[in-house]
């Protein structure tokens, strides 16, 4: 109950600070298993995507996050583990470490939807960094799952790097049309297609 109340409070605060509007441009918010993949500019990105989902979808959706940042105990660890039920992965593979794709597939097999950021790191510029191959490997492992692009607009202006307080700028969260891996589709083709789908949701000045 405490975690549920905290999740609701964090969701309400995120929407209030950003004035975020969810725009379902290519699909409807349906209770089907999905991997939501978005552009990445801040540690608040997954919170805003998660908060933009209807409550019934939030309960089945888990953010994928870097263990090096989030798995530090204290309040940060409590929030990611108990409130958001995050799927933590090692961004830098270590010998003997867990395979991040296997970790994500395990969460999918438990019935969860996921929130991922295929750039792999925060991008403080406009446009998108090249996608890492993880999103392709995840689609290879579970090709029946829908991959939905989600463009976050203006979030990096709300919380610019080095600032402690958010700025009053309205954000939008645009959900695009679902994508599935095609039979025989190569890694390069799938990464190009998913990247183009995400950029296609960006305002003209943000895409590149």
Look up the pTM and report it. 0.88
Is pLDDT larger for residue 156 or for residue 16?
A: 16
Residue 206 has pLDDT above 50, yes or no: no
Asked if the model's pLDDT at residue 24 lies above 70, the reply is yes
Instruction: Look at residue 163 in the predicted model and tell me its pLDDT.
Output: 53
Query: For residues 150 and 125, which has the higher predicted lDDT (pLDDT)?
Result: 150
What's the pLDDT band for 28 if we cut at 50, 70, 90? very high
Query: Exposed, middle or buried by CB within 10 Å (0-12, 13-18, 19+), for 139?
Result: buried
- Taking residues 149-164, what's their average pLDDT? 69
Which CATH homologous superfamily contains domain 2-199?
Answer: Glycerol-3-phosphate (1)-acyltransferase (3.40.1130.10)
Give the 3-state secondary structure of the chain.
CHHHHHHHHHHHHHHHHHCCEEEECCCCCCCCCEEEEECCCCCCHHHHHHHHCCHHHHCCEEEEEEHHHHCCCHHHHHHHHHHCCCEEECCCCCCCCCCHHHHHHHHHHCCCEEEECCCCCCCCCCCCCCCCCHHHHHHHHCCCCEEEEEEEECHHHHCCCCCCCCCCCCCEEEECCCECCCCCCCHHHHHHHHHHHHHCCCCCCCCC
Instruction: Report the pLDDT averaged over residues 174-190.
Output: 97
Query: Phi/psi at 108 (nearest 5 deg)?
Result: -60, -40
pLDDT tens figures, 75-106:
888 889 988 999 999 877 776 678 999 999 99
Question: What pLDDT does 124 receive?
Answer: 67
What is the edge-to-edge ordering of all strands in the sheet holding 113-116? 21-24, 172-175, 146-153, 34-38, 113-116, 61-66, 87-89
Mean pLDDT of the chain: 86
Residue with the two structure tokens 């409590």: 78
Q: What is the pLDDT of residues 100-141, one digit of tens each?
A: 999 999 999 999 999 999 998 877 677 799 999 999 999 999
Residue 201 has pLDDT above 50, yes or no: yes
């Amino acid at each position: 109950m405490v975690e549920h109340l905290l999740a609701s409070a964090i969701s309400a605060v995120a929407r209030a600070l950003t004035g975020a509007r969810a725009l379902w441009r290519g699909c409807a918010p349906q209770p089907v298993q999905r991997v939501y993949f978005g552009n990445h500019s801040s540690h608040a990105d997954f919170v805003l995507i998660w908060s933009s989902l209807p409550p019934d979808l939030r309960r089945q959706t888990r953010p994928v996050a870097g263990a090096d940042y989030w798995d530090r105990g204290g309040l940060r660890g409590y929030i990611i583990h108990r409130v958001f039920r995050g799927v933590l992965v090692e961004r830098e593979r270590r010998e003997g470490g867990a395979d991040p794709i296997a970790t994500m597939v395990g969460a999918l097999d438990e019935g969860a939807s996921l929130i991922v950021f295929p750039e792999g790191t925060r991008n403080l510029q406009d446009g998108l960094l090249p996608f890492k191959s993880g999103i392709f490997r995840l689609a290879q492992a579970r090709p029946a799952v829908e991959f939905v692009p989600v463009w976050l607009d203006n979030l990096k202006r709300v919380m610019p790097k080095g600032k402690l307080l958010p700025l009053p700028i309205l954000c939008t969260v645009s959900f695009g049309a679902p994508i599935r891996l095609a039979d025989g589709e190569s890694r390069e083709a799938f990464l190009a297609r998913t990247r183009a789908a995400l950029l296609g949701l960006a305002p003209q000045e943000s895409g590149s």
